[in-house]
Amino acid sequence: MTTRTGDSLRRAALVLAGALAAQGSAAAADAALGEYLAAECASCHQSSGRQQGGIPAIIGIPPDQFVALMQAYRQGQRENRVMQTIAAGLSAEEIAALAAYYGGLRQAE
């Protein structure tokens, strides 16, 4: 998100995540921030967890594997211009939050 409204929403989500973490629930804070950030992912990746065409499912990927995949896109080790751009625009905290969120979801039957 590059708009002022988007930036304000992102800051609000970070504040919420920080408040949850301060209450002793860092995993819940990460997942809450991840859920917020996942709205952008859903435009290509299916929220059902099913693979759609050439776009892979990202639901249920173990968090450490998700982070490694995103870092590979950031470093240009995996080729996909869209994902390279998205990964480059995310902080390490945001990637960890997305990993926590998607890692906790299961695919629909």
- In whole angstroms, give the CA distance from residue 100 to residue 82: 22
Check if the beta carbon of residue 37 is closer than 8 Å to that of residue 45.
no
Q: For 9-29, how does the pLDDT look when each residue is reduced to its tens digit (9 = 90+)?
A: 676 666 666 655 555 555 666
- What local confidence, expressed as pLDDT, does residue 48 receive? 72
Residue 10 sits in a domain of what CATH number? 1.10.760.10
Residue 91 lies in a domain: yes
- Per-residue CA distances from 54 to 4, 25, 34, 45, 80 (Å): 33, 36, 23, 10, 12
The domain containing residue 75 runs over which residues? 4-103
Q: What is the reported pLDDT for 1?
A: 43
How far is residue 78's CA from residue 3's CA, in Å, rounded to a whole number?
28
pLDDT digit string, tens, across residues 59-86: 989 999 999 999 999 999 999 999 999 9
| Structural domain count of the chain | 1
